[in-house]
Structure 1
Amino acid sequence: MFTALFWFLAGLVPLPAAALEAAPVANRGALFRVEQGGHVAWLFGTIHVGAPDFYPFEPRLMAALREASVLALEVDPLGPQDQIARAVREHGMYQNGRGPASAELPAAYRPRLDRLLRQYGIGAATVAAMKPWMVASLLAVREFEKQGYQAELAVDAWLSQQAHARGQKVVELESVAGQMALFGRMPLADQALFLRESIDAIEDKEQAADARAILQAWMHADQAALERIAARTAADTTYSGRFVSQMLLAGRNPALADGIETLLKTQRRSVAAIGVLHLVGPGSVPELLRAKGLRVERIY
């Protein structure tokens, strides 16, 4: 559930042709129709990894994408790469020669981290300058890859690629730097705890189970399963669980809702695609939009 990190860590590459030619699939994620004053915004829930058979999406969403004047994403993964690189350096890398991240860990965790890095084929040089939170996120990416999903095939990227190919305007509801600053501002002691909990979760197979659960819920547009995941996330009392719930989800939802409201006011037809966990549970973006007086209908 490391929202919006997979692109920054895995790199940005074009999708292979197979991803563009796969047969249509069933409903994915979650889809809402938001309306006010004759203007319509479709709100789609994404995940930040993917597989070739995810694409294209079901006909209603594909039609909405074609008809939209604007596609809004949390950030555009095909946007200026220098901005992404700068954000990674500023918020994800040590600036003062300190490191590696393993030095922040208790002695007992250091060989455990080394084993995981070897297991995932990650060389020591790759993580030498990474702060602990970024090492934890890289491990999360590799765990998703172990499940057969790839960051370079992420839903956000496919949507962005399609929009750019159509000459469609793509806007960002957030910024790369703003997202990464949420992690980079953590004290190093908290980042080390974040990494320790990630190591524990991977070794206990909890991270693999969580990856399977959210992927299956998204792939089948399973409303009940997504709500259960949201409830479990909100009830997680670990440091990383509280960070995800309070900072990555609840803390960002109001600004995302404001951005979508602005989009709706200025565009007659638009699509906004954001992480699916922003669309479920108490304080979700659809709930906040309803509180603003907008008409919000859940399609699936």
Structure 2
Amino acid sequence: MFCCLFVFTAGLAPQATAADGIPNRGALFRIEQADGKAGNVTWLFGTIHVGAKSFYPLEPVITAALENASVLALEVDPLGSQDDIAGAVREFGMYPAGRGPASAELAAAYRPRLERLLRQYDVPPASVAPMKPWMLASLLTVREFERQGYQTALAVEVWLSQGARARKQKIVELESVQAQMALFGRMATSDQALFLQETIEAIDGREQASDARAIASAWATADRAALDRIADKTAADDTFSGRFVSRVLLGERNPLLAERIATLLAREKQSVAAIGVLHLVGKDSVPELLRRQGLRVERVY
């Protein structure tokens, strides 16, 4: 079960390497007007949402683009308003007072499995009692990846945001944390419970770790064929979670992301837009949608 919100990276295969020996990561596209008259360029970079110290610095092409850009555009700035983030979590990820816990929504067979995972991750049950099922599923996913040595604090978006702040560079958000969490929060409670149950199944069955290693290797080595295979598998995943990722987290968001990146291109002489790498692959990916708008889209790697 692939999830575009929580993936991690590891060097697991031969790497496409820049001239100075720093490996390419993820995917990189160069976007400009088809006639080239405006002279504006947006670099579109695929990210992952947790990481490790070994991922940095990035290779020279994207590093130079970042240094020369007037604007860095992110899905959501992880170092932005923490009050906004906390408010979105309360609104969409937490039960109202007196409701919960999420385990009450699970089929009986899953409740001891959830308790075991919480013990495994050293998470006190009382601390997650207010969480809705989808939020608890997200927490379990992150904790599983942390157990393998990867950290949200070292996510590519965090590294990019820190760099932009050091350069005193403008940061814009292509989405909002409220809009992202609302996609999960609008799920019926029964669907959220199914989402959590499938997360438990994926962790217990090691499927989640296996899929994460696949996307990790593809991102860490800028492996285009592997990323295409992941896109195909994601599109074919007929679990509830798989359909949610394909139809909602990708299908509903990609057109808006493409529209806002096109607006960024029209407005800024040089900019960088960095979004999750799964938005950059597949039939209706953001680069493909930008091509359909008549823009020139070149894949660098």
What is the TM-score normalised by the length of structure 2?
0.92
Partner of 1:199: 200
1:42 partner SS: strand
Partner of 2:82: 81
1:296 partner SS: strand
Partner of 1:245: 246
Counterpart contact for 1:257–1:285, Cα < 8 Å: yes
Partner of 2:29: 32
Partner of 1:226: 227
- Give the C-alpha shift of residue 215 in structure 1: 0.9
- Which range moves more in the overlay, 124-133 or 262-271? 124-133
Q: Which amino acid aligns with 2:285?
A: S
- Give the C-alpha shift of residue 122 in structure 1: 1.2
Q: Which amino acid aligns with 1:26?
A: P
| Match status 1:64 vs 2:65 | yes
- Give the C-alpha shift of residue 210 in structure 1: 1.0
Counterpart contact for 1:105–1:192, Cα < 8 Å: yes
- Give the C-alpha shift of residue 280 in structure 1: 0.2
- Give the C-alpha shift of residue 136 in structure 1: 0.5
Matches within 5 A, 1:168-187: 168-187=169-188
2:259 partner SS: helix
| Match status 1:142 vs 2:139 | no
Gaps of 5+ in 2: 8-19
Give per-residue Cα distances to partners, 1:137-162, cap 9 Å, x unaligned.
11110121223211111000100010
- Give the C-alpha shift of residue 24 in structure 1: 7.0
Higher relative contact order (CA 8 A, sep 6+): 2
Counterpart contact for 1:34–1:295, Cα < 8 Å: yes
Give per-residue Cα distances to partners, 1:104-136, cap 9 Å, x unaligned.
001111000000111111111221100000111
What is the TM-score normalised by the length of structure 1?
0.92
- Give the C-alpha shift of residue 211 in structure 1: 1.2
Coordinate RMSD, CA, aligned: 1.3
Q: Following TM superposition, where does structure 1 have runs of at least 4 consecutive aligned residues deviating by more than 6 angstroms?
A: none
Counterpart contact for 2:6–2:50, Cα < 8 Å: no
| Match status 1:129 vs 2:141 | no
Partner of 2:154: 153
Partner of 2:277: 276
Matches within 5 A, 1:72-111: 72-111=73-112
Counterpart contact for 2:134–2:193, Cα < 8 Å: yes
Q: Determine the C-alpha separation between the residues in 1 that align with 2:144 and 2:231.
A: 20
Give per-residue Cα distances to partners, 1:46-90, cap 9 Å, x unaligned.
000010011110001000000000000000011110000000000
1:71 partner SS: strand
1:134 partner SS: helix
Give per-residue Cα distances to partners, 1:254-281, cap 9 Å, x unaligned.
0000000000000000000000000000
| Match status 1:211 vs 2:212 | yes
Q: Determine the C-alpha separation between the residues in 2 that align with 1:103 and 1:24.
A: 52
Q: Determine the C-alpha separation between the residues in 1 that align with 2:253 and 2:144.
A: 25
Counterpart contact for 2:66–2:72, Cα < 8 Å: yes
Matches within 5 A, 1:42-61: 42-61=43-62
Partner of 2:11: none
Give per-residue Cα distances to partners, 1:1-60, cap 9 Å, x unaligned.
443468xxxxxxxxxxxxxxxx97300000000011210000000000010011110001
Partner of 2:10: none
Q: Determine the C-alpha separation between the residues in 2 that align with 1:149 and 1:24.
A: 23
Gaps of 5+ in 1: 7-22
Counterpart contact for 1:133–1:191, Cα < 8 Å: yes
2:46 partner SS: strand
Partner of 2:261: 260
1:281 partner SS: coil
Residues matched between the structures, number:
284
Q: Determine the C-alpha separation between the residues in 1 that align with 2:52 and 2:206.
A: 22
Partner of 2:114: 113
1:274 partner SS: strand
State the identity %: 69
- Which range moves more in the overlay, 122-131 or 260-269? 122-131
